[in-house]
Structure formats: C-alpha cells, structure tokens
Structure 1
C-alpha cells in the first residue's frame, strides 16, 4: 500500500532562503531512492509574513519508506547536518505525519 509522507513547516521570513536551500537538498536526494514515486511542494504566506510550506513524498510501501528515512538520516550524518538544530535555530515549526492512500 502506498505511503504518503507529509510535512508542514512554518518558516519565518528571515529563514526562508536557508530553509528552501535545505529542502532542495532533501528533495533531490529522495528522488534517487528505491521505492520513490513522486514528491510535491506547496507554499503560501500567512498574515504575519511566515512561509507555510507543505511537502509530500509518495512511496511504494511502508518498507521502502522506512529505508528512505534511514537513508536520509545517513545523509545527514555524512554531511554533519542536524535537522532538529536547524529548525530550532531558524525558529521553524514542523508537523510530520504519514498517510495511506484511500482505495476507491
């Protein structure tokens, strides 16, 4: 069953450039992984000037999604990148969930 990985970020105006740069690194990386189907990114601005960004990544099944998560963590280790620290430093909030596709 397909798995849809959905993140929502609230990004202050001052952090948008760095955030989008990191998002591009992640999106480019996951597209090369086994079991990847597609990803999308959506954005809008809120009344306070924050960027609201939603990303989706669709995977063939739960097993490949788990392997993808592990691969992303390995990439972070190789790069010396700490996602939690970056989000905290930039004052970015994140909500993350995995969804299943509803069959017709």
Structure 2
C-alpha cells in the first residue's frame, strides 16, 4: 500500500529563504531514492506573514519509506546537518505524519 508522507511547516518570514533552500535539498535528494513515486509542495501566508508550507511525498510502500527515512538521516550526517536544531533556531514548527489513501 502506498505511503503518503505529509509535513506541515509554519515558518516565520525571516526564516523563509533558508527554509526553502533546505527544502529544495531534501526534495531533490528523495526523488533519486528507490520507491519514490512523487512529491508536491504547497504554500500560503498567514495574516502575520508566516509561511505555511505543506509537503507530500508518496512512496510505493512502508518498506521503501523506512529506507528513505534512513537515507535522509545518512545525508544529514554526511552534511553535518541537524534538522531539529535548524527548526529550533529559526522558530519553525513542524507537524509530520504518514497517511494512506482512502479507497472507496
């Protein structure tokens, strides 16, 4: 069963450029992984100028999704990148979950 990995970020105006640069690195990387189907990114701004960004990545199944998560963590280690630290430093909030499509 396909797995849909969905993230929602709330990004302060001052952090938007750095956030989008990092998002591009991640999106470009996952597109090369086995089992990747497609991804999308959506954005809007709230009344305070915060960026509300939702990203989706669809994977063939739960096994390849887990392998992709491991590959992303390896990439972060190689780059010396700490996602949690970046989110804290830039005051970005994130909600992350995995979903399956509803079938009729």
- State TM-score, norm by structure 1: 0.99
Structure 2 stretches lacking a partner, 5+ long? none
- Aligned-pair RMSD on alpha carbons? 0.4
Structure 1 stretches lacking a partner, 5+ long? none
Determine if the alignment matches structure 1 residue 89 to structure 2 residue 89: yes
CA distance, structure 1, for counterparts of residue 102 and residue 45 of structure 2: 29
Between the two proteins, the alignment pairs up a number of residues equal to 104
CA distance, structure 2, for counterparts of residue 95 and residue 40 of structure 1: 16
CA distance, structure 2, for counterparts of residue 69 and residue 102 of structure 1: 23
- State TM-score, norm by structure 2: 0.99
Q: Which runs of 4+ in 1 moved over 4 A?
A: none
Aligned to 2:100: 100
